[in-house]
Structure 1
Amino acid sequence: MRIALCNWRDLAHPEGGGAELYARMVAEGLVARGHEVTFLCAAHDNAPAEETLHGVRYLRAGSRTGVYGAARRAIRRLEAADGPFDVVVDVQNGLPFFAGWATSAPVVVLVHHVHREQWPVVFSAPVAAVGWGIESRVSPRVNRGRQYVAVSRSTKDELVAMGVDRDHVAIIHNGTQPPRPVSVGEADGPRLLVLGRVVKHKRIEHAVDVVTRLRDRHPGLRLRVVGDGWWRRELEDYVAARGAGEYVDLLGFVDEQTKHEELASADLLLVPSVKEGWGLSVVEAASHGVPAIGYRDAGGVSESIEDGATGVLVRDLDEMTSAVDGLLADPCRLTELGDNALAHSARFTWDETVRAWEQLLLHATWRQAPTAAGDHAHAVPPARLSPRPTLR
């Protein structure tokens, strides 16, 4: 197949995150299976306008808002020069590319999560109203009858609430890579970890509040924040205002080896985000036997965390604080959750994600009716006891 993939950013972008990793892993996996993939995304200073990486052709043009028109123009130009694409993937990160305006090829719309909560957090009220109107009203009408892909059942449910036909939404979860072997030394006390972009709607301040509240009850307790983003200065100011600089470490971007060392060193992963499509960091932590605590109403987090089995879902900051306190005080329960999380993480592989995408895209190129493939629950398998120490 000859495939165009339209994504707001690529993983080299300064604000690249889990959605960009998903797009890259799917693109590279499809190339490895013999397909041709052109990745259309915004321009940025970290990469050239055009390059080929791991077999994927990247074309970068346009700004944060200009990328949508630039991608459509690129599709028209590439099809005029080399013939039509077999299928186009339109990744709707709040706003769709409306790729169907540029091609007669089948269009598959990928949605990680619906942005109802993010629009007013990130933008002014007028801009948020327009953005939410396009996402919730215009896009479902323009893309009616097309194949959709969601990365979680919660995202699918939200798409259906916006008018998308339930039978047109397939679910293809994130994968996760096998954890790198790491050597972890003894720590001075328990560690909490937040992994992800430092942006406003991730609400990392909640994690700072948790560690601040519990320092006296758990000597040596620290919070490690791995990731960076446009909200870093505000987060630094918050840490300083709380007097938490001595026990909150803002590590910024780190390499893969360091990331895995931080994951393996943690006792708990905190996910205080407003919304996640799936919760890639949850499964990454689980692959090291580290359970997670997140908010019940944060979209896909309620699926990537199996409540009471691989972690804990809570309703608010007070409940998050209480859950952390209880697990740090109960090493046996913490180890049980970690063992369950490790077993659960093995179910989600990038090979399976790519295989599902290949089948779905072939289905689309044959111009068959949209499918709801992949809409099933993943039960947590029985855990096997792990020698992993709980509190370091």
Structure 2
Amino acid sequence: MEAPAAATRHVLFLNWRDTRNPEGGGSEVYVERIAGELVRRGHRATLLCATHTEGPAEEITDHGVRVLRRGGRHTVYLRAALVYLAGTIGLGPLARRTGGRPDLIVDVGNGLPFLSALYARRPVIALVHHVHREQWPVVLGRWLARFGWWVESWLAPRVYRHCQYVTVSAATRRELATLGIDPQRVAIVHNGTPDMTIGPVPRSTQPSLVVLGRLVPHKQVEVALRAVAALAGELPGLTLTVAGQGWWESQLRQTAVDLGVAERVTFTGFVTDIEKRELLASAWVALTPSLKEGWGLTIVEAGAVGTPTVAFRGAGGVEEALVHGETGLLADDVDDFVAKVRHLLVDDAYRAAMGSAARAHAARFTWPVSGEKFAALVTRAANVPAGTPAKRWEETYELTP
């Protein structure tokens, strides 16, 4: 344990999901690991998220983070406001169960933010993994997509106009600037790389691919299926493992059937951390065909076990999680994606060199380093009165990238 911080804080994280949620992903890993790093530094951390069947209403994680699950997929936003407001007068569950009101709120915006800056009389840090401009039309119908984009692109920047922002990549900081958010107010705190230490895991004897993540449309797993279909004739032993779960799985299974590759594709469903490490370590190449990622956690996870990745250029933070031509390859379109997958599969020396470089690149990103940066932001933000104009923030606290 590290020595407690000179001035400890109680930090309340508002996030729609947690890592035990069946639909949880890299955003949830980031929030809980950062919260755990704050706990290691003497702070207290509470995560308020939606309820689900895989976790109790309240628990404490292995990293010492208290998790409160309230509301459902859509009502969690209102429940967060009610819990906070009750806690501010010392009567609600937040005050009783966490020992008092939070000193600071980290409001995580996964497309729709909690808008806590409207009601919280505490400093707020707005955490944005990536901008969802491309995802809204894919996930929602026309009118709901317009509403979601209006909230993200017009309402949120105005609600958080006095707040410090945090994101996980320079790509997202540039996108936030297009929404009118001054880059000087946006700090970058990268993801750490999870511990991928495992015993000896041999590579598969035949060419193998792996996709890891939630099975939802904007992850574009269909691209991986098309790559298998395109390369199967040249590489008869080629297989693909799709690790993860989500409501789009039935459609992906049907696509595999339609493409004639169903016998080559294994859908594992949820995998444990150990199973994930073994899958990534045994595969020849990892694929991240996602439309947009704030960072690309699975890319550095694969890199940590020496597996290079193919992803799309322009897909957000993947261009930082992956160094094109060194730790993996970035494709311009689907045909180029397939071509780059083929290049890595057929050239053993090229693939091995990229795997070694990917392992070294992944080692640069650690949770303790990220936690130290975030803790500094917490200390600084907690000392700024709520509602302080952004200009005074910048002048007084020298906000820099």
- Please state which band the TM-score falls in when normalised by the shorter chain: over 0.9
What pairs up with 1:147-158 in 2 under 5 angstroms? Answer: 147-158=164-175
Secondary structure at the counterpart of residue 237 of structure 2: coil
- 8 Å contact 2:170–2:188 — kept in the other structure? yes
Aligned AA for 1:39? L
Give, in whole Å, the separation in 2 of the partners of 1:329 and 1:373. Answer: 48
Give yes or no for the alignment of 1:59 onto 2:64: no
User: Given the alignment, which residue of 284, 289, 294 partners 1:277?
Assistant: 294
| CA deviation after TM superposition for structure 1 residue 263, in Å | 0.7
* 2:30 paired residue number: 22
* 2:276 paired residue number: 259
User: Given the alignment, which residue of 368, 374, 377 partners 1:360?
Assistant: 377
Q: 1:233 to 1:374 in 2, by over 3 A?
A: farther
Give, in whole Å, the separation in 1 of the partners of 2:341 and 2:349. Answer: 14
| CA deviation after TM superposition for structure 1 residue 191, in Å | 0.8
Give yes or no for the alignment of 1:44 onto 2:61: no
| CA deviation after TM superposition for structure 1 residue 339, in Å | 1.0
What pairs up with 1:296-307 in 2 under 5 angstroms? Answer: 296-307=313-324
**Residues 87-139 of structure 1, C-alpha deviations (whole Å, 9 max, x = no match):** 10000000110111231110000000111111110101000000000100010
| CA deviation after TM superposition for structure 1 residue 374, in Å | 7.6
* 2:116 paired residue number: 99
- Structure 1 alignment gaps of length 5 or more: 376-392
* 1:76 paired residue number: 85
Give, in whole Å, the separation in 2 of the partners of 1:71 and 1:65. Answer: 11
What pairs up with 1:226-241 in 2 under 5 angstroms? Answer: 226-241=243-258
Q: 1:186 to 1:5 in 2, by over 3 A?
A: closer
Give yes or no for the alignment of 1:118 onto 2:135: yes
Give, in whole Å, the separation in 1 of the partners of 2:11 and 2:362. Answer: 29
What pairs up with 1:1-392 in 2 under 5 angstroms? Answer: 1-54=9-62, 55-81=64-90, 82=95, 83-185=100-202, 187-367=204-384, 369=393, 375=401
- TM-score after normalising by structure 2: 0.91
Give, in whole Å, the separation in 2 of the partners of 1:373 and 1:270. Answer: 36
Deviation beyond 6 Å, 4+ runs, structure 1: 371-374
| CA deviation after TM superposition for structure 1 residue 236, in Å | 1.0
- 8 Å contact 1:89–1:107 — kept in the other structure? yes
Give, in whole Å, the separation in 1 of the partners of 2:308 and 2:149. Answer: 34
**Residues 214-246 of structure 1, C-alpha deviations (whole Å, 9 max, x = no match):** 112123111111111111111111111112111
Q: 1:215 to 1:283 in 2, by over 3 A?
A: same
Q: 1:75 to 1:258 in 2, by over 3 A?
A: same
Give, in whole Å, the separation in 1 of the partners of 2:119 and 2:49. Answer: 15
- 8 Å contact 1:152–1:303 — kept in the other structure? yes
- Structure 2 alignment gaps of length 5 or more: 1-8, 385-391
Give, in whole Å, the separation in 1 of the partners of 2:208 and 2:132. Answer: 31
- 8 Å contact 2:204–2:284 — kept in the other structure? no
My pick for the range that moved more, 217-226 or 203-212, is: 217-226
Aligned AA for 1:41? C
Secondary structure at the counterpart of residue 246 of structure 1: helix
Q: 1:186 to 1:162 in 2, by over 3 A?
A: closer
Q: 1:305 to 1:186 in 2, by over 3 A?
A: closer
**Residues 336-381 of structure 1, C-alpha deviations (whole Å, 9 max, x = no match):** 1111111100100111111111111101011182578784xxxxxx
Aligned AA for 1:75? Y
| CA deviation after TM superposition for structure 1 residue 34, in Å | 1.3
Aligned AA for 2:292? K
Aligned AA for 1:243? G
**Residues 304-324 of structure 1, C-alpha deviations (whole Å, 9 max, x = no match):** 111111111111110011111
| CA deviation after TM superposition for structure 1 residue 186, in Å | 5.6
My pick for the range that moved more, 112-121 or 242-251, is: 242-251
Give, in whole Å, the separation in 1 of the partners of 2:232 and 2:104. Answer: 53
Secondary structure at the counterpart of residue 21 of structure 2: coil
- 8 Å contact 1:166–1:372 — kept in the other structure? no
- 8 Å contact 1:108–1:149 — kept in the other structure? yes
Give, in whole Å, the separation in 1 of the partners of 2:221 and 2:374. Answer: 33
Give, in whole Å, the separation in 1 of the partners of 2:101 and 2:72. Answer: 26
Give, in whole Å, the separation in 2 of the partners of 1:186 and 1:225. Answer: 17
- 8 Å contact 2:185–2:400 — kept in the other structure? no
- 8 Å contact 1:180–1:257 — kept in the other structure? no
Aligned residue pairs total 375
Q: 1:374 to 1:349 in 2, by over 3 A?
A: farther
Aligned AA for 2:309? A
